[in-house]
Structure 1
Amino acid sequence: MDVVLRDVTLRDGLQLTGKPLPTTRKVELVRALLAAGVPELEIGSLARGDLVPPLADTLDVVAALTPGELERCWVWVATPRHVQRAVAAGARNVQYCFSVSDAHNNANIGRDTEVSLAAMPEAVGHAVDAGGRIQLCLATAFTCPFDGPVDPDRVLGIVADPRTAGSCDVVVCDTLGQAVPSEVGSLVARVADAADGRRVAFHGHDTWGQGVANGLAAVASGATLLDGALGGLGGCPFAPGASGNTATEDLLFALRPSWLTPEVLAGLVTGSEDLLAELGEPNRSRAAQGVRSRAAAFPWTAGPRD
């Protein structure tokens, strides 16, 4: 069975960009990625628009998509009220996110971790009542920018907490990109054991160059969903020291899901190049560099653009 790649360009990828992306362009990108075969997308956030301006139009993006498209899309939420607003706009899949670290949860969401956890049953209820799905997403599962290393037992305690019942997935986040494969493999394996049948996802950043290695370590330990962003775009505005996400192109080249062909990868690279040029952002994908190489005997190369 293929590992599912979820592209998070339109949420985690855009939240640190200096230039806004028009709503129509976001909708165009959603449809291009889905048409290419990308199984799932994260398309925005209900974070306050004054704090994260590039994502202020998320509900407009949701409203522009069809029910069939929204079945494959996720929206980041942090409160029960966020869930209500998202499902009222048409969203069916929400990612309820809070930080394992109190310090980061306060910086990111404005409350202690326990407050976010206590509100989760209400959030689950709103999602289920709308016929949707809700993920438990745990930011700073490895390290916190303010408090340093995070105790794995704190992560496991949240996963096993009965107040997270009803979530369909557990997303383990290396928010700062400071984890190494051995740490990722160990924690993901423990989360998989405690997840009680829920799908386990890994969300990694490539700050220290370990993004793909960490993703593969997560898969080897039981994760069946990985997050990535085109060109390695992104980072958390409330996590000093974090850089971009692991590049979608790099993860796909490593995973080789059944739907990926050299032509599809080349198309994704072209779309990524256009987007990054539009935003004035660098391309951090190594696979994209490979696709543009002149190694004509290798079937995954497409050569330089005309």
Structure 2
Amino acid sequence: MSTDPGSWGVELRDVTLRDGLQLVGRAPSTGRKVEVVRELLALGVPSLEIGSMARPDLVPTLADTLDVVDALTPGELERCWVWVATPGHVRRAAERGVVNFQYCLSVSDAHNRANLGRSTEASLDTVPDGVAAAGGGRVQLTLATSFTCPFDGPVDPDEVVRIAADPRTAGTVDVVVCDTLGQAAPAEVASLVARVRAETPPRRTGFHGHDTWGQGVANALAAVQAGAEFVDGTLGGLGGCPFAPGASGNTATEDLLFGLRPSWLTPSSFADVVRLAERVVADLGERSSSKAAQGARSRAEAFGWVVR
């Protein structure tokens, strides 16, 4: 693979409006969420995760997900994903116009029970009905705790591969390997992504990482070099899982963009992303963890990526 980041062709999906809002103290209004969707799409971000069908009492900052969906056009929804975990979630979202579904289960049985209230095998049993309920929409298989579990520790890579290859997952268009706790190292990420691509049915492969141990960008680049076609990030590194003690925010969208340099990104559009992230983080009363955003605000004015 070329070492020129602009030639990698990897897609960045921004997941601020789902994973990024799970642990914040307050949520943007529905209208502001819609504005953020449109700003990110207009800047060139290829796809977004815009909410979750999880119970509103468990994740109140995402309770208005279907209101956000209602405010978007069919063309906008073509580029937007919604988190789901049951066929009922899929049906309710599809009735409102959602066409891209991120169907999630945990490789770790203990985390699946904490997150979804059932065993991993029970969640796997629901996947065929979830795919059918999508009515021709795209369903991703999203594997949380692919590396470590907050309750049971390290996760066996063989178990990740087994689940990704399970016949019950037929019909899913992508498989997303998730470092839910941000405890993986680049070599582990590269090895698992390569195995999933080689040993499971042909699908796009994605990587969803957190930056708890400071390896978020390195892990994403390792995933891309192992063949991942897309990676997830959040503005300002917001995020975390309420059912995963020890997890911090996602890898920052700004950091991933600066490292990957997708073809649509220019210094000007990068500056706009940095400014948008600053506004979103400030409105939430949070702090950005993005190193690229810090660099962009430096006084190294001879460097073209500095925000002026």
TM-score clears 0.5? yes
Aligned to 1:72: 79
Aligned to 1:272: 277
- Quote how far apart the aligned CAs of 1:21 are: 1.2
2:67 to 60, 63, 80: 60
Q: Is the 8 A contact 1:93 1:133 kept in 2?
A: yes
Aligned to 1:174: 179
1:206 to 208, 211, 224: 211
Rounded to whole Å, the distance in 2 between the matches of 1:281 and 1:194 is: 41
- Quote how far apart the aligned CAs of 1:302 are: 1.4
Secondary structure of the residue aligned to 1:202 is strand
2:253 to 248, 251, 259: 248
- Quote how far apart the aligned CAs of 1:142 are: 0.2
Off by >4 Å, runs of 4+ in structure 1: none
Secondary structure of the residue aligned to 1:192 is helix
Aligned to 1:45: 52
2:149 to 144, 153, 165: 144
Aligned to 1:25: 32
- Quote how far apart the aligned CAs of 1:27 are: 0.3
Secondary structure of the residue aligned to 1:10 is coil
Identity, in percent, stands at 71
Aligned to 1:224: 229
Rounded to whole Å, the distance in 2 between the matches of 1:302 and 1:231 is: 15
- Amino acid corresponding to residue 13 of structure 1 in structure 2: G
- Quote how far apart the aligned CAs of 1:2 are: 1.4
- Amino acid corresponding to residue 83 of structure 2 in structure 1: W
Aligned to 1:83: 90
- Quote how far apart the aligned CAs of 1:104 are: 0.3
- Which consecutive unaligned segments of at least 5 residues does structure 2 have? 1-7
Secondary structure of the residue aligned to 2:18 is helix
Rounded to whole Å, the distance in 1 between the matches of 2:176 and 2:307 is: 34
The two structures have a TM-score, normalised by structure 1, of: 0.97
Aligned to 1:34: 41
Aligned to 2:19: 12
- Amino acid corresponding to residue 27 of structure 1 in structure 2: V
- Amino acid corresponding to residue 130 of structure 2 in structure 1: A
- Quote how far apart the aligned CAs of 1:195 are: 3.4
1:101 to 73, 95, 108: 108
Rounded to whole Å, the distance in 1 between the matches of 2:267 and 2:299 is: 14
Count of equivalent residues: 301
- Amino acid corresponding to residue 30 of structure 2 in structure 1: T
Aligned to 2:262: 257
Which structure carries more relative contact order (alpha carbon 8 Å, separation 6+)?
A: 2
- Quote how far apart the aligned CAs of 1:20 are: 1.9
Give deviations 1:247-299, integer Å, cap 9, x for gaps.
00000000000000001011011011011110001100000011111111100
- Amino acid corresponding to residue 82 of structure 1 in structure 2: H
- Amino acid corresponding to residue 59 of structure 1 in structure 2: L
